[in-house]
Structure 1
Amino acid sequence: MFQIRELEMIHWDFWRAIKVPLDAQIVTIVGPNGSGKTTLLDALRTLLALKCSGRRDYKRYVRNNRENNAWLRGVVSNPRRQGGGLFPYLFFPATSEVVTLFCRIKKQGGDWVRQYAIAEGDVTLDAQTELTVQWLGVNEYKRRLEQAGLTPAIAEVLALEQGDTDKLCEYSPKALLELVFQVFGDKQVLDHYAEAKLRLKEAEGELGKMEQQLSQLGLDVERLKLRGNNYLEWQGLQRDIETLEQHAIPALKYVEQWESLRGYINQFRGARKSLRQKQDELDALDAHYRHSEAAQAIAVTHEEAARIENDAAYTVFQSARDAARDSEKTMKEAERLRQLAAAENGADGVALADQLALKREQANQLKQTIRVQKDERQQLADMKFALDQGRAPHPDFVNRMRAALDEAGIRHQLLTEIVEVRDNTWQDAVEALLAPYRHIILLDKPQDRQRAFELGQQLKYRHFIVPDREKVGRANGNSILEIVDFKADAPAWLVSLLNRTQRAKSVADGQHLDGEWITRDGFHKERRGARDISARPGEYAFGEAARVSRLQESARRLRDLNEQLLKDEALLVELERDASALQQSLMGMQAVVQLAARQDEFAAVAERWPEEQRRAQEAGAAVAAAQASWDEARKIREDGRVQFEKLKDRRDRLNAHVNDELNQLSRQRDEQSRRIRDLRNAKAGMPPEMRSSASLRAYKDKYGGLSEARHMIERERERLAQADWETDQTVLLRRDKLGEDYHALERDTQLHRNEVERTAQLTDEARAAYINKLKATVRTYGRNLKRLGELSGIDVETDLPQLENDDTVLAQAGLTVRFNFDQKGMMGLNDGEASGGQQVMKSLIMLISLMMDDANPSGFVFIDEPFAHLDIFNIDRVGGFLKATQAQYLITTPLTHNTNVYGPSDLTLTTRKKQAGEIWAPAIAQTRRRAKAAV
């Protein structure tokens, strides 16, 4: 095998670019723990496509430097083979003394990928290398290395875990034998033989099943023969019945089908007449619907015109009111100045200051009231707009919850969206009964319950989230459910509540009812007692009546709020004006001077104020009339819309009924056509002599009807029912087919039996022959142990295991090795009699013996810390043993050992730890033994 001369690493672990020589028989790698000794050996393992030590792999090392690529380059020897042959050199066709091995590792597709190359001669690593060499995959590269002497056995040894190389002496005889077989490739062959044995047992099991199946099939053949004879006997009796079935039954069946067709045709005509009546009703309803739709459009137009007229009248009113209000303010200002002028001579400054403070406090309180009223007015305006659009506004916590459900893609409805009250006189009772449930959320899919519940918990939603819904069943008489329509499925418990709650005209009427009841105004009696649960009209939430009620309530409240705001704003202006006058008085301004200066202004205002007041009153009356007209138009439009929706719903239901009857009539027409075709086909299938009316009447007169003819057949069959008969007409075919299958299975079973016996014989003979190969492997390993023991001055004896062609013997076989140190007597592998140094010598001899190959006497070995726990004498002894062999050794040792560990070393590499704050580790120091001068 080849030996390693040089190693170059770029971006390997924390080494940026480093080149180390390895051209010595024994290379010692020394350094403190964590300085990179094992990292250097793993670089060589990766270069040779071997597994790294421990749980490491090559990706761990190339990730540490955070570069996108890494290179490994090694120069190895290329000696000529002793036997020559087709491949005279290890790396043929390369014939130079050395060859260069490359390993390129780069990041590709988010993962690290490695490629290999082999170049003739000592090729340096530069920019052209990647383009000039031929890159190989991992498997092809391993094949080339195996051709050069790096056999799978050697690869197994080189890839041993760190620390296992000095623990081979701790193996049991059985484990040692398994290791020898695994390294020399025999373990895989034995596994293949075991698998072949398993397959043979499976084949024997299949053979047993085939024999069992053959026995069962023989019984089935005999049973079918008996059934076939029974069928032949039954067939003769059956012909008598077939004569009656083939003539009388078809004729009578045709007569009955014809009579049934006549009745079906009459039924079809009645259905068609009913359909025409409903279509006429639908046409009339459709005309009424279109007229109502046009009237609704006109009502919307009138409402819009009334609103515009109201807005215009309100604009005129505002202008007249503002002019009159300004004149009134000016007159009040004149009166205020006269009062100030009259009281100014004896006014007290402290009293004026108190009045000013009082006025300002009143003004601030009034501002706060106005701000609250404006916020309420905005909320009412938003509610009124939503109600005008046909949408019911909801509280903020409901809107937040629905927004969260929409964002999560959970389809849902509110209970208020699916409930409609048919009888408006009971609106108060329905609202009172359902008031606690107005914010219930109904899920469209029960599968969304977990996510919906999580959102409810997150937002602290205090109302029910209901995942389970059912179709609403039939309502009990006089129940609340009887006057309520559900547009979709609803919770069963809610439907049950409405269905068990009865309607009572009064409390006295309720005393005659059993169970729960409620009056129109919301007085409710249940199992716990009775109480008033009525709801205010402004809080109605269910159905169209609730929307109209809330719309009217919001419009009334908005009108009252606007009037109150006008009054409060006027009062605020007056308070601010009084406060300003008091402030001016306190600052020394004279009211008499102001009154004299503005005397002309006050006189002109007093002259025109009555006319302005009259115009404001007239404009106010016009606004009130326009508002009443607008309210009336809106009420007409709402009433028309309710009627229009009911008409639309009625029209849609009638249209659905018409479509259903059209589909049903189409199916009836198809059924009628099918029956006519069946009659024609039946008549065509009858013999010519049976098709005439006279023949059919004759069958009718003779047998009376189809049922009578069938009764005659049944009576004939009862005669056959007194015994067991085979009626399957395929029994004869199955009898013949099963006989053929039996003979075929008999032939296949015999062939399979012959194959199983032959396979068992061949497998047993093949493994018996391979036992000689196993014995040869053990003998070879024993010779290697003895030869290496002689080099180190240690006697080695090997007890060859008992290897026979038997599963139990092979499973229990073990390899026993004994060593004699210093002529003190033989000792076993791990019997506790050997010292620490002797244990190391045992392990080294066993390790090197695994790699010895007569065809390739040279080679290299990785040994991790062979001098651990050795004294000076044993260190020298191990060193002498290593120098006496022909292999190249790359060994590691910590800095704490005796200097004798460097005795056998021709080249020493010293690794150093990466300093804190540095990116790259320092270079590896090299110490080469000085060559002895020639004597």
Structure 2
Amino acid sequence: MFQFRKLEMRHWDFWQSIEIPLDAQIVTIVGPNGSGKTTLLDALRTLLALPCSGRRDYKRYVRNNTEPTAWLRGVVDNPRRDNGDLFPYPFFPITNEKVTLFCRVKKQGGDWLRQYAIMPGEVELDADTEQQLEWRGVREYKLDLEKAGLTRAIAEVLALEQGDTDKLCEYSPKALLDLVFQVFGDKQVLDNYQQAKTEQKEAEQELAELTRQLDGLGAKVEQMKGRANRYLEWQGMQREVAQLEKNVLPGLRYLESWDSMWGYIHQYKGVRRALKVREDELARSDAEARRLEADVATMQSAEQAADAAYKALWEPFQRVGADARDAEKVLSQRDKLKALAEAESGADAVELADQLGRLRGHKAELDGKVKASKDERQQLSELQFALQQGRQPAERFVREMRAALDEAGIPHQLLTDIVEVRDNSWQTAVEAMLAPYRHLVLLGRESDKQAAFQIGQRLQYRHFIVPDCEAAPKAVPGSVLEIIALKADAPAWLTRQLNNVQRVKSVEAGAGVQGDWITREGFHKERRGARFIGVDVRDHAFGEAARKSRLDEVSRRLFELNQQVLVWEGEAVEVGRQIASLQLQLAGMDAIQQLAARQDEFAAAEQVLPGLQAEAQRLGGELASKQAEQESTRKLAMEARLQEQRVRDVRDGLARQVSELLNQVQVRQAEQTRQIEEARQLSEALEAAGVSKSGLPALKEEWGSVQAVRHEIHRQQERMEHGDWERDASVLELREKIEQDYAALLGETESRGREVARARELTDDARGAYINKLRATVRAYSQNIRRLGELSGISVEVDPPHLENDDAALANAGLTVRFDFDQKGLMGLNDGEASGGQQVMKSLILLIGLMMDESNPSGFVFIDEPFAHLDVLNIDKVGAFLKATQAQYLITTPLTHNLNAFAPSELTLCTYKKRPSERWAPMITQTRRRLDAARGR
């Protein structure tokens, strides 16, 4: 390793330009604190590309001046090494005895950058030097110094900070052993072992990489096999789909078309037969309807004739009856006058007046009853006429609403116009269900709803106006809708409600029904409970049966009113006669005088009364007969109309069925023609494709139907479309290529495995040589530190490491060193038992022992204040240590230290503090020891 001979610093910290000699074995740098001792050592460290001490760096020193560039120049020796082999000089190929090292710190881009250069010989720093130098980067420069002997381990020793010379004793045994071997070890042996180990690792890494590649390629082979299999499966599915589409599907379509064609032929014939049956039934129904229409006309004529005959007898009967009653009244007055004449002439006038008042009151009551009955009879007569004409009369507000809709041109119907009850025994139940909706208005066009709603708002119509109607759904068996025939579309909510209500015979029968139900009498059960909702017969409004029942009820009521009016009128006439008699009596008229005055009147009445009574009796009998005939003809006409209506309903149903069957016949005929043509085309396609029809039954047996084949085709197409399939035929060639690559890589891996085994053998051999050298190095270092211990009066013992031909054992090996100070017993490196001075002594022994290898003499060592914790005696011992080695030492010490610290020094450099009033620090002074030629010192 090289040693320093000179150092020049320009613009380094507060030194403008200074050059100091370092051509001595032991150089002592002395000065007060802050005078630049550590700054000088950091200059040497920066020149060697080592880190500065503490938290300092080279930028700190160049920022203290205003110059853009700082220079460090060091002159070192370049001694020839006897065992240098290929590199006899530290700075080979430089063979000069001296070498100059340059460091330039230049400000560039706002930061300070280092550059280094190595020049042969002693080169001065002048204006032309910078252009002659070949600058190196920090990394390249470090490699050059490492080749010159400045190993990383020595660099770590040189980088020890101020006061850290006692840190070597704090190394662990393993770290100390590594440091010893790096300083003393044979570089060639170490390089051989490292090269063998590196080659082994590289071979193992290559083998591992090949193995990984082989595994990956194996997985890829399996993957490619899977992809190839998926491609082959995809091809198979394509062929299967093509086979199904080309052969199987047309064949089965031909068979199904043939079967369907014959099935349609049979169906067509069946529909034609059904059409013929329905046409015959329709013709019979038409004939029956025409016959019943004639019967209805005949019955209506008979009904009208009976009504006319009844009315013709009614007036004579009324006239004769009135005449007979008049005659009877006259004779009754005669009898009363006779009774009065026979009575006492002194009757009580007050009593007669009271009697007259009572009779007048009774007469007024009878007249009121007669008038009310006649008014009711008038209304019933109008209702009877409307019902006889086949109309259901409506209330006044309904008539007004319909009139307003007609005036606005809005076609409409009432719900009562379209409902017919098929089973008269359930008329009461139907009336009960539909009673709330009897005034429902159904619009013919939905577009009229806005105008209809406005009319309803204006007239305050309290019942629904429904714009949207639809055909009734199929009736649920046993529901109310089942016994109702709708002549037009109805609200869906109403038909749904009727379809959800079941008909039951009794409340007991309704217990087993889930949902709503109703009895014949109108007892209704729904989700909220059950109640009676029946409607009076006089309020029936739906269907022909309701009209007939209302007509019967009106006729019955008219007959009762006529009889009642006759009775009340006769009673009123009699009361009127009594009133007249009492009035005459009270007026003072004599009964005998009245009898005499009215003798002729009484005689005439008595003469005509028998004839009138006989005539009235005769006319009454005839009138009763005519009334019975009228009722009979009316009932027959009503039954004829009901029968006609039923026949017409049946006829309309048959007409609809015939129309539907005609449509079916046309559709089936067209479909039959189409299927015949399709079967012909399929047959021609089979012949063109070369498919034999003899094999079609087997296809039918295998696949069943065209739908099954299409389902299979669709399933396979879905699998091909959405499945993870390979569709490129090159995957087969790629599979073969990867299989070949795998076989080749397998052979190469096996070959590399053999190479790894050979590299492992070479590594074991190199490790054996390394162990031998390590043992020799440990022996040499142990002898060095023992000899240093003898010089200092310290007993040093070294436990050789446990070395085996195994990397794990070598990695864990350590050098254990124990010291005995003043016969007080052995202590370890850093066991906490030594004092501060003893720690320094131990570290110096360990440090100086590294520099005592005669085969590889050390170059230089920086020791910052090694005597800080030593007494006078130990300082002398340390000086003896330093002289005993061949290394160059650069030692710092403060001015306050004992003078013995300068005893081993050959060259002493004195640093001084910068004065506050001056820009640059003072020059460094030097003191060189004079050598005694006789004593060599």
TM-score (norm 1): 0.45
Larger radius of gyration: 2
TM-score (norm 2): 0.45
